[in-house]
Structure 1
Amino acid sequence: MEKNYHILCQILIKYCKDPSLSSKLDEVLKKAYYEGRFDCIYGIIYPMNKYTCVMTMKERTLINNKLHEFHDSLVSGNLSKDRTIDRVKTCSWLLNWRKDVAEYSQTCGRCQKENRATDKCLE
């Protein structure tokens, strides 16, 4: 089916709680409807994958905060560039995001200082 059809169905499901609507949807959308696998934040539909939701980021401060969270927060443990890319793509999107992740990884002071021999962040 067309992508637009799916988007339209998701909008209808979110804002129209008509029980007969779900009977008109195909099985994939019906399952997603009952599992709550999408969300609408500020009028934008975000598909949810397991426990994550894709977030579109435009503000540089938010992008830098998220890159810090994904790459070198205490929970992340200074991941490599590739592993940071994997974490970013599961829950967010930003323009030129791969380039931003690469630049952030290359300028990570902790990785440059502590992992100079192994270049952990630059892998």
Structure 2
Amino acid sequence: MTVCIDNAQHSLIIDSGAHCSIVARNYLDNHFPNWEKQLLPTESKKFQSASGKMTSIGTIIKEIIIPHRKGNIRLNPEFVVLDDVHN
């Protein structure tokens, strides 16, 4: 799904059954300069993928605008930032 974040279009995968929203540190590095100033501490959580453990370094809140013909939808989800996600 294409959404707007910080006045730019981004593609997101929405999984309505996911335990939480996650974003990779390298994605933030590539698309949001100075994102680390918005990083909030997070409680210790363990994440696992098919390729191994993933490390949480904090959370970040980003306003997301989902375009809709009857009026845009604005959300402010909290994303867990993962340090070691591989594409």
- What is the TM-score with the length of structure 2 in the denominator? 0.29
User: If you compute each CA radius of gyration, which structure gives the higher value, 1 or 2?
Assistant: 1
Greater share of residues in strand? 2
TM-score by length of 1: 0.23
Higher helix share: 1
